[in-house]
Amino acid sequence: MKILLTGASGFVGSALLAKLGVINTRVLGRSRPSLNKVDFFYSEILPDSDFSDALKNIDVVIHSAARAHIMKDESCDPYTEYRNVNTLGTLSLARQAASAGVKRLIFISSIKVNGESTSIGQPFFYDDEPSPEDPYGQSKAEAERGLLELAQETGMEVVIIRPPLVYGPGVKANFASMMNFATMNLPLPLGAIKNMRSLVSIDNLVDLIVTCIDHPKAAGNIFLVSDDFDISTTELLKELTRAAGKKPHLIPIPMALVRGLAILLGKRAVTDRLCGNLQLDITHTKNTLDWSPPVTFQEGITRCFLKDN
* Cα(24)–Cα(20) distance, integer angstroms: 8
- Strand-pairing partners, residue 267, are none
DSSP state of 119: B
Q: Which of 42, 79, 82, 136 is catalytic?
A: 136
Nearest one of 286, 104, 297 to 208, comparing CA atoms: 286
Strand order across the beta sheet in which 222-224 lies: 39-42, 25-29, 3-6, 60-63, 104-108, 157-162, 222-224
136 counts as catalytic: yes
> Could you give the 3-state DSSP secondary structure of residue 299?
helix
- Long-range contacts of residues 38-43, Cβ cutoff 8 Å, at least 24 apart: 38/8
* Cα(198)–Cα(280) distance, integer angstroms: 6
- Residues annotated as part of the active site: 136
